[in-house]
């Protein structure tokens, strides 16, 4: 039986760290409420040679693998952890809505590098837009020179792409898309992250077609 002793108060701010539950003792479900694998792009829509990946999880990952490529996330935990942390730039204040559901899908690129899609389904489109704008504002303000540096590649009203570079570690292409009541965040490890602006723009329609 689970032994978590978390507050029963419903979280209301994704910008505030959540209470951290004890280590998972069972695999998470493959679906998150109405969100299923059908709400994530097929790998071939993201690039030639892409594949889905059954993440085995483990103690370090903080979850037990469920033998599928998708898994339910705690909505507060997922929406908070998606925000940039360790930036040198001026922090952005303000609360962010907590999604009702969160689902992660794991991929491998044609170069066998990890990629992850996170879907955040909100109660309505206004909340989704508020989170997207808050997420983008934090990415824009992150700057360079901290534990995390962010370089913007392009942005418009409903999608944006940038490069997350962690000090002494790999770089990621970071794509965010809002469509209806859902925000999709696609993070792709890349050895040529600065050169992936066109690729990021090309996969936006694939996300918009299925996420909401």
- Count of CB atoms within 10 A of residue 1's CB? 3
Show the CA angle centred on residue 190, arms to residues 66 and 52, nearest 5°. 30
Confidence of residue 41 (pLDDT cuts 50, 70, 90): very high
User: What pLDDT was estimated at residue 110?
Assistant: 94
Q: What is the pLDDT of residue 22?
A: 58
SS (H, E, C) 77-102: HHHHHCCCCCECCCCCCCCCCCCCEE
Among candidates 128, 132, 121, 117, which has minimal Cα distance to 42? 117
pLDDT tens by residue, 117-168: 999 999 999 999 999 999 999 999 999 999 999 999 999 999 999 999 998 8
CA angle 172/185/57 to nearest 5° reads 75
What structural domains does the chain harbor?
Answer: 51-208 (3.40.1000)
């Amino acid at each position: 039986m689970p032994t978590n002793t978390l507050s029963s108060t419903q979280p209301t701010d994704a910008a505030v760290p959540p209470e951290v539950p004890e280590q998972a003792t069972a695999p998470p479900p493959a679906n998150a409420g109405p969100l299923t694998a059908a709400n994530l792009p097929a790998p071939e829509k993201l690039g030639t040679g892409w594949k889905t990946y059954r993440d085995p999880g483990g103690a370090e990952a903080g979850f037990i693998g469920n033998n599928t490529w998708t898994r339910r996330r705690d909505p507060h935990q997922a929406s908070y952890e998606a925000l940039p942390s360790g930036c040198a730039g001026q922090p952005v204040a303000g609360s962010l809505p907590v999604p009702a559901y969160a689902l992660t899908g794991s991929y491998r690129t044609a170069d066998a590098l990890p990629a992850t899609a996170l879907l955040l389904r909100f109660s309505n489109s206004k909340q989704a837009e508020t989170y997207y704008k808050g997420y983008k504002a934090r990415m824009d303000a992150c700057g360079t020179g901290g534990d995390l540096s962010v370089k913007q590649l392009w942005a418009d009203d409903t999608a944006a792409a940038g490069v997350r570079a962690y000090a002494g570690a790999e770089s990621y292409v970071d794509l965010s898309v809002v469509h209806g009541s859902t925000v999709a965040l696609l993070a792709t490890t890349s050895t040529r992250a600065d050169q992936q602006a066109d690729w990021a723009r090309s996969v936006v329609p694939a996300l918009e077609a299925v996420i909401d």
